[in-house]
Structure 1
Amino acid sequence: MKTDTVSYSSLDSIKKAQKTLENVVEITPLQKSHRLSKKISANVFLKREDMQPVRSYKIRGAYNKIFNLYQEGNTENGIVCASAGNHAQGVAFACNKLQIKGTIFMPVTTPKQKLEQVAMFGEKHIEIRLFGDTFDECKNEAINFCDHSGSAFIHPFDDVQIIEGQATLAMEILEQTYEKIDYIFVPVGGGGLLAGIVTVFSVLSPETKIIAVEPKGAASMKRSVEMGINTRLTKIDSFVDGAAVQKVGDLNFEICKDKIYDCMVVDEGKVCETLLEVYNKDAMVLEPAGALSIAALDIFNEDLTGKNVVCIISGSNNDITRTEEIKERAMLYKGLKHYFVVKFPQRPGALKEFVLDVLGENDDITFFEYTKKNSRETASATVGIELLNPDDFEGLLARMKNLGYFEFYLNDSPNMMSLIV
């Protein structure tokens, strides 16, 4: 297995990548969002990479890398990749178009929708293998396969030609506007897209402030920048699957570490809130990673008033079966959903009293389960309560404690809550 992670990209090689991708990728809109512009009093533009043929920017790097290997005669033994979904779709698309055999390793946790999309784009030219719970476990298995098969490994981000392909997105943005871009918000997983943006903007638009945005549960770039060395996280939350990477690419980190203006972390619950907001208000269906840049606008610690802001919408490969989980995480984040272990006093009518005297007028029980099915009047129960206003929580908690019902607040112990609820 051989990967090129030594030299940095040049604008000439990025322009060459643009030529390679001319009849493959869409020139996606740089679309002004009037709602977001009004919301933060800025000029907010969305780079709509969710409108690519594979519904993410990943097709750029994947096709550029594979086409170059194909031109060099290095695809006879096929190609291999590891991906949580979007890179796999780009690779599958390239394999089909170039008639190359591909073996695609994906985590067992990959949403079904992404698996089906990969199979659709690759058709008879690809084989999907599921392995591990995280991208990193999956990647290691893919590399082992390459070592035995002699196939070429298509790294999803830590590769010069992958970065050059992603960098064509940055070239497009600058070609689509004559106005100065003050800020660009970039979602980060392994850092390939960020490295491409940095490479182009540092030369052609050095005054633009580049904001890297990661999910709270997988903030590997932020940790690495803070440590001054590329650092592997011991544990990650894989919910934002398109950006759930334990360690960013070594090459990507070297390119980006001194050129990022800020590295932001967004709570997964905030991402879910944003997903629902853009769906309900903008009719946009995004995947969690695709909503990262928009989610960061609300919590950015600088005044964006009057500024020209670009948010990269990285993808829209979401699975509709995740909707309930997205709604749940959003409610928890906004303080509207609370779970308790409730102990019922050993007296008749305790459950009725709980409903009448503990719950507020606008509170609603959305989950109820006894811990002991055969002793319901005296047993503890797990209770989920939805509030109309987060400010109602303190009153609810006080009434629960004063009347002797409170036993444990599960929201403060997410690991325990995941086992009980």
Structure 2
Amino acid sequence: MSSAHATSTYVPKSRLAKWFESRLPLVGLVHSSFVAFPVPRNLNYFWTFGAILIAFLGIQIITGVWLAMHYDPSAGNAFESVEHIMRDVNYGWLLRYAHANGASMFFVAVYAHIFRNLYYGSYKAPREVLYLLGVIIYLLMMATAFLGYTLPWGQMSFWGATVITNILAAIPVVGDTIQSLLWGGYSVGNPTINRFFSLHFLLPWMIAGVVVLHVWALHVTGQNNPAGIPIKSSKDAVPFTPYATIKDVFAVVVFMILFAWFIFYQPNYLGHADNYVPANPSVTPAHIVPEWYFLPFYAILRAVPDKLGGVILMFGAVLILAFAPWLDTSRVRSCNYRPVYRVFFWVFLVNAIILGWLGAKPPEGGYVLASRICTIYYFAHFLIVMPLVGLFETPDRLPGSILETVTGPGKQVSGSGMPAGAAAEPAKRA
């Protein structure tokens, strides 16, 4: 971020602003990072999901803090306190539905963000650390979402907590210790929900901290773009504000309309009816399923007959994402110029969707067989397809510059609106 600040054109006007800026250059830092910062002029709307994710992180934290004021994290009162929020607290129903559906919207945006990264090769050098921070955010999100799903203490919440904590016990050496720490006793009960509530409240602040590092890393390396080529001149870039800002705001508004539709018209569509029944340790639901955003990994877990093997593959399916920068051997970033790998990418995307569908089905018959086939392909994509296709594929010709991808070959523009020096630093880094 320091290099971005060096290109700032912010000049304080008043004596007070000059005094403050000389002691804490906060306004200049914001200006250089979110106003004058050069971004590639060919960015499309897939690059707006970062702004969407930051908006929804804010929504989740604000609604979560407000709900925590009325929630009782005890096995005897948790379910009733949620009903109290829904029925008796002013606009409690709105806060609860916004928080519950906000988690789903968060994951819609993060999956679009992840697949955009995989398609355009945004994980490649020099953005490995930026990408790894994104994987850490994803892991923290999954932990936060699971803990939050258990807090209403309905049937699906209770049995979901029971199933997952029992699965963790299969981890060699430390599994039983982890399970005991989470349970706080000999089974899922009152100490468990206290622990889950505390962790669920803590983790979003950790996510916010890693997001700051993520944005910092982004401003050090500069943004990737659909062509996957670096900024080479001032004509390849435009200032972040207003060009990227307006696009981000528009995308956030559109996403908020979808979010509002779920809140006001289909608030329980993405949930499970059994969670409106109080937790009963004596009655097991006919079919225990997690939230939709966990279903692909749940399908992988159930595809393996061995309990420990299922746990390894389930966690491995997430962790293998972190190795993409080193498994992909191609020198070309964007799938737009990789005709062979592009086909495999779309197969991988369809395969992931099918895994999600299978995760919602009973673990029997053809569903289990299909889950095993899809699980094999999931790992083969990273361990076989990525390394081999990168070695043998002949990519298409890359454009000579980012400007060429916008105007076409041989055409020029009169000006970029970007000071020449402002674009020089990201060009060197990329």
Normalized against structure 2, the TM-score is what?
0.24
Which structure's relative contact order is higher, taking Cα pairs within 8 Å and 6+ residues apart? 2
* Higher share of residues assigned helix: 2
Normalized against structure 1, the TM-score is what?
0.24
